[in-house]
Structure formats: structure tokens, C-alpha cells
Amino acid sequence: MQRTFMVAAISALAATASFAQSSVTVYGRLNTSAEYQENIAVDGKQKVLQNNASRLGFKGTEDLGGGLKADFFLEHRFNADTGTVTGAFYGGDAWVGLSGGFGSIRMGRLTSAAYFATADWIGMHNHDTGTSEDKLYTYLSQNANTISYTTPNFGGVTVEATVSAAESGATTNKVGNLAVNYDKGALHLGFGYEQQAGTEDKQFAARALYELGAFTFGGYYQKSDTESLGDRDLFRLAAMYAMGASEFHVNVGFADNWSKLSGSKANQYTVAYNYNLSKRTKVYAFYSTVDNGSTLSYFGATGAGGTVLDPSSFAVGLRHNF
């Protein structure tokens, strides 16, 4: 009788453990480059050690049974060159959610779904970070106080809709966000739309990326409209050629004038070389520059008397994912 009771108890415990299985993953990235910069932090030339969005994160899931899972994500951003915090302690995403056959719901601090569906795909040479990141993209969404719903995958298509809460009566903090992604084999497509409540500020973008053997080609188009600057068109193209452990990258962006501000057009050019020492570690070099217009600086320091300068950087770096 006692033996039967013990076996039943052990079986019940085992069933409970299997019912509520959970996992937590610790991950991160250290990405630092030595750079020779011109007109970036200061007017003129300087040599710096540059942090490129280094991070430490925790993500996990708990199986609640019946196909339902609880998920969480916490990402801390820090400067690998100094050890200091970048912005908020959890400067990356920080959310809790539920997922299942219905899709997923997340609540917390969330990066723009429209950005992830479009511009994020095109920064292939260094994951759209640091001095060579996309400086021309119009980014409207605030990250905080956001609720997101993502549909299940329908034949390669997923749709995500988010809204940021308008807390303390600040209606301009309320941002609506819609993203559509399609992934099928070598073809990857994306669409993103954002609009900020209380203003006329909005933007939409469409992205395509195609893998053709050793080559990868990508690009996006963005149309932005703001109350202060008017509307503007942006095109960005990127290409990568992989040969063994080597990657060769070219990335160019062309931003038209804002309709209410002449002399505001800009171009950005980046060429880069990556050498993958392993699946997690690479060394790289790049040259990147922004050709600002005469009246608006997208990036870089300002010269004497408010003169718009053109920034550039030559960098050699090391990136490790864990």
C-alpha cells in the first residue's frame, strides 16, 4: 500500500513537472570597434573606441499546457568600451506575454515592429549599429508602454499590430504600428506603417531581400510625413557577397528633400568587410559616411556658426555573440 502511494506521488510530481516545463536563456553581444572619425562627436578628426549596441539579455518560456505558453524578454544595453549603462538599464526590449495557437500577445517596452519588418533587415554588415547604422530612416514609435499582438504564421505571412499607451494625458505618445512579414525560402518581404496620435506624423516602408547563392540583395523604400518638415522619400539598397569565411558588403541610402525644408536631402554610403572566425565571432572593417544637405544634419557634429558638416568613420572591430 505504501509502495503504491509512493509510486503514485512520484508519478504526480513527474506529470506536474512535464506540464509546467520552463526554460531561461542568457544571451548577449559584445561589439567594439577602433575608429578614426571625422565630424561625428566633435568638429574635426578623432580616434575613439566605439561601442556598437552591446547587450546582455534574458529570455524564457513556460509551457502552461494546452499549447499555451508564458514568455518574457529582458535586454540590458551597456557600453562595452566603458562599462557604463546605455540609456535606461533595460534599454532594449522588456516585456511579458502569452503565446499559443492564437498567436502571441506581449506587453512592455517593444522596439517598433515597422522598423523590424523593414530597415532592420538591410543593415547586414553590422546589424544596423554604431556609426555605420542607418541614419536616414524615420523612426516614430516610442518603445515604452506598448501592447502587441502577432498572428500565427499563415503560409509564411505574419502580421503584428501594436499600440503605445497615452499615459498622463500625453496623446502624442500614442503610436499605432502595423507590420507584415513574408518569409518563404530565399525571398523575404516586409511592410511597416506607423502613425502618431495627436499629430499628422506617419511613415510607411516596404522591404525586399533575396538570397541568390553567395549573393544577398536587399532594399527598402520609405515615405515619411511630419507636421514640421513635410513629406520625404527614402531609398536604401544593400548587397552582400559571401566567400568562405569572408563577407563583402555595400550599403547606400538616398533621402530626398523634406517638402518644407529645402537643402535637407542626404546620402549615406557604407562599404564593409567581415571575416567570420566562428558562428559567433567575427572581425570586421568598414568605411561609412553621411553626405548631409546644407540645412539639416541627420548625423554628426555641427561646425562653427551652426554649419552642417559631413561625418565619416573608418573602423576596425570585433563582435562576439553568446
Residue 298 resides in a domain: yes
The CATH number of the domain holding residue 302 is 2.40.160.10
For residue 14, what is its C-alpha cell?
513527474
pLDDT bucket at 54, cuts 50 / 70 / 90:
very high
Q: Is residue 80 part of a domain?
A: yes
- Could you give the number of structural domains in the chain? 1
Does residue 7 sit within a domain?
A: no
Confidence of residue 171 (pLDDT cuts 50, 70, 90): low
- 121 contact partners, CB below 8 Å, separation of at least 6: 188, 190, 207, 209, 218, 220
In a domain, 14, yes or no: no
Q: Does residue 5 register a pLDDT over 50?
A: no
Please say whether the beta carbons of 239 and 249 come within 8 A. Answer: yes
Question: Which range marks the domain in which residue 290 is found?
Answer: 22-321
pLDDT score recorded for residue 198: 81
**Helix (H, G, I), strand (E, B), or coil: what is residue 262?**
coil
Is residue 183 situated within a structural domain? yes
The model carries a pTM of 0.89
pLDDT digit string, tens, across residues 174-200: 889 999 999 999 999 999 999 988 888
pLDDT at 148: 97
3 state SS of 300: coil
Cβ(44)–Cβ(67) under 8 Å?
Answer: no
Q: Residue 38: which pLDDT band, with cuts at 50, 70 and 90? A: very high
- Is 247 within a domain? yes
Whether residue 189 contacts residue 207, with contact meaning beta carbons closer than 8 Å, is answered with: yes
Q: Which amino acid, residue 276?
A: N
Is residue 67 in a domain?
Answer: yes
| Among 126, 113, 122, 91, residue whose Cα is nearest residue 218 | 122
In a domain, 109, yes or no: yes
Distance of CA 297 to the CA centre of its chain: 22
Convert 14-37 to b/e letters by CB count within 10 Å (16 or more is b): eeeeeeeeeeeeeebbbbbbebeb
Cβ-proximal residues to 185 (8 Å cutoff; 6+ apart), any chain? none
More confident residue, 9 or 264: 264
Q: How confident is the model at residue 143 (pLDDT cuts 50, 70, 90)?
A: confident
The CA radius of gyration of the chain, in Å to the nearest whole number, is 23
